[in-house]
Amino acid sequence: MLLSTVAPANGGPLAPELQARIRSATFEVVLRKATSDPLSYERALPIELIPYQERIDKFHSVGTAFAIGNDRYVSAAHVMLLGVGSQFGAPMLRDSAGKVFALARVHAYSAHEDYMVFSLAEPASATTIQAGETPGVGEPVFAVGNALGEGIVIRDGLLTSLTPEPQEGRWNWLRFSAAASPGNSGGPLLDAGGRAVGIVIAANAVENLNYALPMQQVLKAGEGTASFDMRLPFSIPIVWQPAVVSITDSFKLPLDWEEFSRRYLELDLEHYRANRQALMASDPPFPGGASAKGLAIASRPKSPSLMAQDEERRWISQGGHSKESAELTGEGSVKLREFRNIGLFELEPGKQVGQPVVGETSPLLNPLLKVLNVQRPVGTQMVRVTSAGPSVTQDTVKDGHGRLWRRGAWPLGFTDVHILTMSLNTPRGEVGMVRIVPSRLRAVGEDEMSFLADFFQTPMQGNASQWKAFLERTPEGALPDGSVKMIFSAGKPFAFQGPSLTASIDPQLIEVNDESRLTLETLLVGDAGRARLDVTGIRLREQDEDDGTGLVLLRQPRPAPDSGKDMTQRWSQMLSRTKDFDGVERPEQGTDRYWFRTSIPAPPADASNWDPKILYEMWYEVDGMPLPREMKSRRSLLEKSIQVTESPR
Amino acid sequence: MKARQFLVAASCVLVFLAGYAPGPAPGSEEIPEIVSLDGWDEAMTALRRSHWVLRGYYPENRKDSAGRTVGDDLDQYVLPENIVAHLEALRIQAQAQRDAGDQKGLEKTIGEARVILDGQMKQVFAVGSYWQALTLIELQRAAISPFAANATEADRAALAAFAGQIDQRLRESRASLLGSTDEGAMTKSLASMHSVVVDNAIHYGKQRGKWIAEQVKYDSDPNAAELARTAACGAPMRAEGESARARIKGGPDLEPFYPEDAKQEMFEGVVTVRADVDAQGCVQKVRISRTSGDPRLDAAALDWALQASMVPALIDGTPQASQLSFNVRFTLN
């Protein structure tokens, strides 16, 4: 193992009594392990594979701190932050005898310089480490710390250089060649006299040139303030171009740990929201300006999607790429797609459909775990998590369109992360978003998901009996503002009344039975510079299949002049009811299916000024053997049955 | 190939028109034996499908001289609304009889339906035959139009008069064919419709040949089709007797070269081919010297000519390369 006594390359070793003094002034930073585990796994955990020391330890060892006297202790900010918002509680210090000390108050904090000065609830150390001046380049230095959770070790090297911090060169990082490991963070960097000249901050991944913050920076700043002054990249999933944001803020110290954490998380969330707002306001803002072009692009996702910018900054529906899918008992299924780190899921519970699922949070995660592939590392093996306990968040939130979302948050226990979900009820099950975030970012993560909810679009699909159950538990109907009224029930003619379309379909066109399938496409539409949710597509099938007798109605907005030849050509065919939209009945090659396609409303007799803002595309298909004249009469019946009520101009 | 043979064949394959028929025409579809309700339903499906299949042969809005489309004819003669209603009523009756175990009643109803369905099948064939005939006549008219423009007034007037007679005869045979269900009468009407088509083809073939002979000079088309040898020739031909030009000694049977679609559309013609023959009697290159008026026949003539065997020219006892022109005649009688 690592040597705890060292022979410096230049100058002598630290005297043994000095080493003892240093050890007693240096501590591990620890977090208390979860005492119970609500998770279930695919098999019994092979805990014998975990090294003995780690297995019996009731704490996670996460870094190093040291006493600087006068009941003051110092560590790296990024080490101490592991206890902010953590499911494991506040960080604590542990001495070499294994005694654990609780934090009292935070006295100084700097996010950019990466340190924290704090006091303990009871004195922990008889000795302290004195601060020293930065030694000359080439002088011997010693990195002291809790390397890899093995207890306090001292390793030697040289001060190799001074590197200006990258943003403004406000201070110089001490670069040194003494070995440093992840657990070293927060530990002292000593000179040959055993004085602390720096705080170990980061190991260099590729060579042994590690970073420490000069102790003089800490002393110079004094106490009384938590300060933040940094530039960071900032992005949100629906905006293409990340921004670089400056976070400059401060609050007064001292505060006790709980108060510090609360203040820290508040500030984090405030900055996140301000940065998000600024990013959304950057060109092109949604849904106006140049982005209107994107809204006109006829993308019709068949699965949940987000309205998001593509690489050309157009706002279009994006469903991401398919990640995983799994069967559930009772012919159910769960499908997961991923769009820029957001999981978009569709859950069909199968036979249990129709049971009210809103309000029961815990059953949601278990089927999702079938596609999320969450694994717990145990020694050298990975063990898959199969179920979780109850959610720690169980509430509902309304999005900007009035949709009621159910939120869930599950801590994983073995690691400090939460699985966050937001889900919507649909006739066939649930759809929504899922992501995994560090516990400290839970509030930001939940806030971002609530924000993204406004941009979430989903097809709502179900057969007649599923829709019946859905509408019974959702009195406002298919759209949350109650603007859609419909009848979709076996033995009755299908009737639909929405903000932009009214339809009443005679049973001789489509005869609704229990197995008939209705899909409502709900998408954001641009309307007078605002985005609103509307039913932009209706797909009605006599049977619960992708083909066969059916009717498809799709809202098509007028494309912008620069939308490309395909779009404008298609639009002009719709306007004039020619070519693809001529309404002429045709056989589908190689099948006994017959169809026609046209646009509604019909162009007026004098079409010279006919320039509507939207049209509906209409397909009708018959499985069977109608005569052409029968198809014609169905077409004229259909045209009488459907009215576009959205102002066409 | 005798015209008479073709006529017999045509009466069977009239609706197998290559240019328009991607598959078997509905008239030639196997008519199910209607002895049960299943056969009945199959016959109904076949009749309904015939509407789509026959319409699919012709461009939309293709009209005859009376302004009708094939869809109009189908709507009028094949499963018109009253027949559909009658058959549906019978179908319900048959179902009830079967459910009630009334075998005798069921057979009677099926018998009644069979008569109607058979008659409807014949109507599909009649409509198909009429549109086929119309199409064949129009193809001939289209092929002659480039030469009619330069013909004499008198010739044009004569041809117009002939076309009028053809139209009149086609209308008459159509009137007796469509709507009739009597098998004997239909066969007669069909035969007379065929003779209209054949008479038209023969007359137009002759007229076209005559106008080409009058209007088109040999070797006058700089863009005339030509074909060069790509494979090696067989054994050299021995020259026989002094001759300034090569002579045709023989060639493969012409019949297989006659394009099938041109045959079915009854296009005949004479193609003048000019061939380059080398001193070994090998045909190196062939070119259309004067067209037949039908590019399919022209191409077939070039294909044939390249395979013809030639005796080379012999001048002063030495075989010589030479050119010669000859006619390839495609004829149905």
Residue whose C-alpha is closest to residue A366's, from A339, A384, A343, A393: A384
pLDDT number for residue A80: 96
Per-residue pLDDT for B102 more than 80? yes
Integer Rg of chain A from CA: 32
Q: Taking a C-beta distance cutoff of 8 angstroms, is the pair A142, A158 a contact?
A: no
pLDDT number for residue A6: 38
CA A164 to chain centre: 35
Q: Which of B29, B51, B70 to mutate to test the interface with A (most CBs of A within 10 A)?
A: B51
Share above pLDDT 70 across residues of chain A, in percent, rounded to a whole number: 91
- Residues of B at the A interface, defined by Cβ within 8 angstroms: 44-45, 48-49, 51-52, 55-56, 60, 71, 74-75, 79, 84
Global ipTM: 0.72
Q: Contact A628/B49, CB-based, under 8 Å?
A: no
Q: Contact A628/B52, CB-based, under 8 Å?
A: yes
Q: Taking a C-beta distance cutoff of 8 angstroms, is the pair A520, A537 a contact?
A: yes
Rounded distance between C-alpha atoms, residue B193 and residue B174, angstroms: 7
Per-residue pLDDT for B10 more than 70? no
Rounded distance between C-alpha atoms, residue A265 and residue A109, angstroms: 14
Chain B contact for A632 (CB, 8 A cutoff) = no
Residue B47 to chain A, least CA–CA distance (Å): 9
Share above pLDDT 70 across residues of chain B, in percent, rounded to a whole number: 89
Cβ atoms within 10 Å, residue B41: 14
Q: Contact A587/B60, CB-based, under 8 Å?
A: no
Residue given tokens 């012409």 in the structure block = B254
Residue B107 to chain A, least CA–CA distance (Å): 26
Side-chain-facing half-sphere of A94: CA atoms under 13 Å? 22
Rounded distance between C-alpha atoms, residue A536 and residue A560, angstroms: 18
Report the chain A residue with the minimal C-alpha distance to residue B72.
A629
pLDDT number for residue A621: 94
Mean pLDDT, to the nearest integer, of A347-369?
A: 65
Residue B313 to chain A, least CA–CA distance (Å): 58
Per-residue pLDDT for A291 more than 70? no
Nearest to A629 among B49, B60, B75 (CB): B75
Q: Contact A594/B48, CB-based, under 8 Å?
A: no
Mean pLDDT, to the nearest integer, of A54-76?
A: 92
Q: Among A529-533, B116-120, B165-169, name the one with the lowest average pLDDT.
A: A529-533
* DSSP label at residue B251: -
> CA separation (Å) from A568 to A296, A527, A556, A571, A623?
11, 20, 12, 5, 32
Which residues in chain B touch residue A625, judged by CB atoms under 8 angstroms apart?
44-45, 48-49
pLDDT number for residue A12: 56
Rounded distance between C-alpha atoms, residue A404 and residue A398, angstroms: 5
Query: pLDDT tens, B137-163?
Result: 999 999 999 999 999 999 999 999 999
Query: pLDDT tens, A258-281?
Result: 999 999 999 999 999 999 999 988
pLDDT number for residue A5: 36
Share above pLDDT 90 across residues of chain A, in percent, rounded to a whole number: 60
pLDDT number for residue B26: 40
Give the residue, B86 or B5, on which the prediction is more confident.
B86
Query: pLDDT class for A357, splitting at 50, 70, 90?
Result: very low
Chain B contact for A596 (CB, 8 A cutoff) = no
Residue A264 in 3-state DSSP?
helix
> CA separation (Å) from A649 to A528, A568, A611, A615, A642?
12, 17, 7, 10, 18
Which residues in chain A touch residue B74, judged by CB atoms under 8 angstroms apart?
628
Share above pLDDT 90 across residues of chain B, in percent, rounded to a whole number: 54
CA A184 to chain centre: 31
pLDDT number for residue A276: 94
Per-residue pLDDT for B23 more than 50? no
Which residues in chain B touch residue A584, judged by CB atoms under 8 angstroms apart?
60
Angle between the B103-148 and B183-215 helix axes, to the nearest 10 degrees? 10
Rounded distance between C-alpha atoms, residue A450 and residue A213, angstroms: 38
Residue whose C-alpha is closest to residue B325's, from B293, B281, B258, B277: B277
Q: Taking a C-beta distance cutoff of 8 angstroms, is the pair A206, A165 a contact?
A: no
- A14-27 b/e with 16+ CB inside 10 Å = b? beeeebebbbbbbb
Q: Is the dihedral of CA B76, B81, B85, B91 positive or negative?
A: positive
Chain B contact for A138 (CB, 8 A cutoff) = no
Which residues on neighbouring strands pair with residue A618, listed in sequence order?
A: A553, A598
Which residues on neighbouring strands pair with residue A513, listed in sequence order?
A: none
Cβ atoms within 10 Å, residue B59: 8
> CA separation (Å) from A264 to A252, A258, A275, A444, A483?
11, 10, 16, 12, 43
Per-residue pLDDT for B226 more than 80? yes
Residue B51 to chain A, least CA–CA distance (Å): 7
Q: Contact B52/A594, CB-based, under 8 Å?
A: yes
Mean pLDDT, to the nearest integer, of B165-194?
A: 88
Query: pLDDT tens, A372-431?
Result: 999 999 988 999 999 888 888 888 999 999 999 999 999 998 999 999 999 999 998 899
Q: Contact B48/A626, CB-based, under 8 Å?
A: yes
Q: Which of A584, A592, A625, A631 to mutate to test the interface with B (most CBs of B within 10 A)?
A: A625
pLDDT number for residue A237: 94
Chain B contact for A222 (CB, 8 A cutoff) = no
Residue A642 to chain B, least CA–CA distance (Å): 27
Q: Contact A625/B60, CB-based, under 8 Å?
A: no
Tokens standing for B112?
């009644």
pLDDT number for residue A7: 39
Which residues on neighbouring strands pair with residue A384, listed in sequence order?
A: A375
Give the residue, A316 or B13, on which the prediction is more confident.
A316
pLDDT number for residue B22: 26
Report the chain A residue with the minimal C-alpha distance to residue B84.
A627
Residue A495 to chain B, least CA–CA distance (Å): 29
Residue A535 in 3-state DSSP?
strand
Per-residue pLDDT for A3 more than 60? no
pLDDT number for residue A149: 57
Mean pLDDT, to the nearest integer, of B167-175?
A: 94
Q: Where are the beta strands (DSSP E) in chain B?
A: 226-228, 247-250, 269-277, 283-290, 309-311, 313-315, 318-320, 322-330
pLDDT number for residue B33: 62
In this structure, what is the dihedral angle of CA atoms A100, A105, A110, A113, given to the nearest 10 degrees? -30
Burial class (CB within 10 angstroms; exposed 0-12, middle 13-18, buried 19+) of A366: middle
Q: Which amino acid is it at B145?
A: S
Chain B contacts in chain A segment 575-594 (CB below 8 A): 584, 587, 592, 594
Per-residue pLDDT for B210 more than 70? yes
Q: Among A342-356, A621-635, B45-59, B186-200, name the one with the lowest average pLDDT.
A: A342-356
Which residues on neighbouring strands pair with residue B327, listed in sequence order?
A: B272
β-strands A100-110, A225-234: how paired?
A: parallel
pLDDT number for residue A284: 63
Residue B31 to chain A, least CA–CA distance (Å): 17
Residue B119 to chain A, least CA–CA distance (Å): 18
pLDDT number for residue A209: 81
Nearest to A627 among B48, B56, B60 (CB): B48
Q: What are phi and psi of A531, to 5 degrees?
A: -105, 130
Q: Taking a C-beta distance cutoff of 8 angstroms, is the pair A152, A29 a contact?
A: no
Query: pLDDT tens, A68-95?
Result: 999 999 999 999 999 999 999 999 999 9
β-strands A586-587, A494-497: how paired?
A: unpaired
Report the chain A residue with the minimal C-alpha distance to residue B75.
A629
Query: pLDDT class for A561, splitting at 50, 70, 90?
Result: confident
Give the residue, A510 or A2, on which the prediction is more confident.
A510
Residue B70 to chain A, least CA–CA distance (Å): 12
Q: Is the dihedral of CA A435, A441, A446, A448 positive or negative?
A: negative
> CA separation (Å) from A615 to A486, A556, A564, A569?
21, 5, 18, 14
Report the chain B residue with the minimal C-alpha distance to residue A626.
B48
The whole-chain average pLDDT of chain B stands at: 85
pLDDT number for residue A349: 83
The answer for residues whose C-beta is within 8 angstroms of residue A305's C-beta and 6 or more apart is: A317, A318, A319, A320, A339, A344, A456, A457, A458
CB pairs below 8 Å between A and B: how many?
A: 22
Q: Taking a C-beta distance cutoff of 8 angstroms, is the pair A315, A308 a contact?
A: yes
The whole-chain average pLDDT of chain A stands at: 87
Report the chain B residue with the minimal C-alpha distance to residue A585.
B52
> CA separation (Å) from B110 to A337, A645, B35, B80, B118?
58, 51, 7, 20, 12
Tokens standing for A528?
């007078």
Per-residue pLDDT for B20 more than 50? no
Residue whose C-alpha is closest to residue A28's, from A84, A100, A90: A100
